[in-house]
Structure 1
């Protein structure tokens, strides 16, 4: 049975995985209902703050569901939900869904879409304060594309932000060894 668990068929019929998928489907339906309810409410200036909070909560739920999909290697579905998280926040407020952009970028890079990933990371890198992991991921993408000078620059930026970022230091050292 252990061999079956590692096969695509075993993964597809894994009861724990199926339960997680069903739970995420329920959560997504619940979020869609929340959006529907929110859209029925008149936009009044008195409830603007509560509405903005509800929008952020919905965006976060999409983000969390998408993270679970990534854990189950459901990358296309995760990208769709990260995109929904971003769209909800764009439509309902003036905030940027930084976490959703970042995780969507990583997922896009894993799927072989480096240009799209870099576009998302560009948006994330505009936020303050700068985050070392954003530049690290950019470095990883550039390195995978064979653009070592750009990768080196990104790893150095990452280390400027966080001098103790081991993975960036290790990746930079590996480039220098070549």
Structure 2
């Protein structure tokens, strides 16, 4: 506390012990949960994380186009699962630790992000297949639905796990 505040409290009859106890309560409250004082910041942080994840999914799907053209099915599946799981862990880190998110936000996240990622991957795999046709590459054409489902499943796995574990510990 500021010296001026301490002086005024003493003038009003507060004992030294009461002032110290009050100061400890204020410090403890400040350290325990800063986010309750800024609930609107949690919403901004949440929606910013959603936008970052959507853009990240788009960039990842574009990055995978050359791999779709070159790699064989098994190698490609392993890479897609690994990237999906790694990006899912990052997504989980961003979203799950934002305090005071309501259940509807978790539901929206679990619904919107996978759908957008699924559609995005379908489009990118179709683009890669068209490129393979134009370039006359002797690569087995990839099934866009299977690859999208593979990525989205690996992507959502860490988030689902965190929701289930979090619920179990409540």
Same fold (TM over 0.5): no
Normalised by the length of structure 2, the TM-score is 0.39
Normalised by the length of structure 1, the TM-score is 0.38
Higher-Rg structure is 2
